[in-house]
């Protein structure tokens, strides 16, 4: 794939770095990620003019500039969206936030202050990423899925989601939850530990928790390790508490 064309198609949403299969699973587009890496290799540092606030970056990956016709509200204050990232009409970006190359942010989603959407991350429709949320990017290893947040998900302030974690539709991630492949997720409703390859189930409400460490010295010192816990699944009461205000969009 030609990296110039790939960046153009990513930016318009014609191409995505990961796509959903008929069975609901997500599959990475390795050729797209390879093309993005080729763009990085081909790029040379340059000074950008005043329209870009004096940035220095790869000459072929400049920050995007938006206008009213794009239908995107990007509030002043230090945010940037890099070339090759798709931002759908009706998305709101509060400052300062950053969206990296290859990312996809779908309709009616809000990125609150200090949000990072990493390279190739996929964010669905009507998602709310609260202040300080970090969505990890994955360009390497080349075959690893990026972080994927499906439609109608609410992610609370300061949550961190990395290493190709997939969040199912309508899930609620409470403030300060950390989700990564190396940490087990405990489903207290169904009394099981999620498999490492599983996505966070649709409608799950995930809070930060702890579990005791079982090594003798750890037990002697009452040490605990942080872990995410599913405490319930969304119901009408949850939906009312998380209703999104259309006026803000």
Predicted model pTM: 0.93
Find where tokens 């599983």 sit. 198
pLDDT of residue 51: 64
Beta bridge partners of 186: 193, 229
* pLDDT tens by residue, 119-154: 999 999 999 999 999 999 888 778 788 999 999 999
The dihedral of CA 73, 79, 83, 85: what is its sign?
negative
Q: What angle do CA 38, 39, 43 make, to 5 degrees?
A: 120
pLDDT of residue 151: 97
Q: Which helix (H) or strand (E) holds 45?
A: strand 45-47
At residue 134, φ and ψ (nearest 5 deg) are -115, 115
At residue 169, φ and ψ (nearest 5 deg) are -55, 140
* CA atoms of 133 and 163, how far apart (whole Å): 15
Q: Which two tokens stand for residue 49?
A: 């003019």
Beta bridge partners of 165: none
Q: Which helix (H) or strand (E) holds 238?
A: helix 236-241
Sorted by where each starts, the structural domains of the chain and their CATH numbers stand as: 3-172 (2.160.10.10)
- List, for the chain, all residue ranges whose pLDDT scores fall below the cut of 50: none
The neighbour count for residue 82, using CB atoms within 10 Å, is 20
Find where tokens 């069975």 sit. 23
In total, the chain counts a number of residues equal to 249
pLDDT of residue 247: 57
Find where tokens 């302030």 sit. 157
């Amino acid at each position: 794939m030609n990296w110039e064309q790939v960046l153009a198609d990513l930016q318009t949403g014609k191409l995505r770095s990961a796509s959903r299969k008929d069975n609901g699973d997500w599959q990475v587009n390795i050729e797209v990620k390879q093309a993005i890496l080729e763009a990085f290799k081909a790029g040379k540092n340059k000074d950008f003019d005043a329209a870009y606030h004096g940035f220095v970056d790869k000459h072929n990956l400049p920050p995007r500039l938006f206008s009213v016709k794009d239908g995107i509200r990007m509030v002043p204050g230090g945010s940037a969206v890099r070339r090759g990232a798709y931002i759908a009409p009706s998305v709101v970006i509060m400052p300062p936030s950053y969206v990296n190359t290859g990312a996809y942010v779908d309709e009616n989603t809000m990125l609150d202050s200090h949000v990072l959407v990493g390279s190739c991350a996929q964010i669905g429709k009507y998602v709310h990423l609260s202040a300080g949320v970090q969505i990890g990017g994955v360009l390497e290893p080349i075959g690893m899925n990026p972080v994927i947040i499906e439609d109608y998900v609410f992610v609370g302030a300061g949550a961190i989601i990395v290493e190709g974690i997939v969040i199912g539709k309508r899930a609620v991630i409470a403030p300060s939850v950390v989700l990564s492949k190396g940490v087990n997720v405990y489903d207290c409703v169904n009394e099981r530990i999620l498999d490492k390859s599983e996505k966070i189930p649709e409608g799950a409400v995930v809070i930060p928790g702890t579990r005791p460490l079982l090594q003798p010295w750890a037990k002697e010192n009452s040490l605990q390790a942080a872990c995410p816990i599913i405490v319930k699944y969304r119901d009408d009461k949850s939906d009312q508490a998380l209703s999104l205000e259309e006026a803000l969009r």
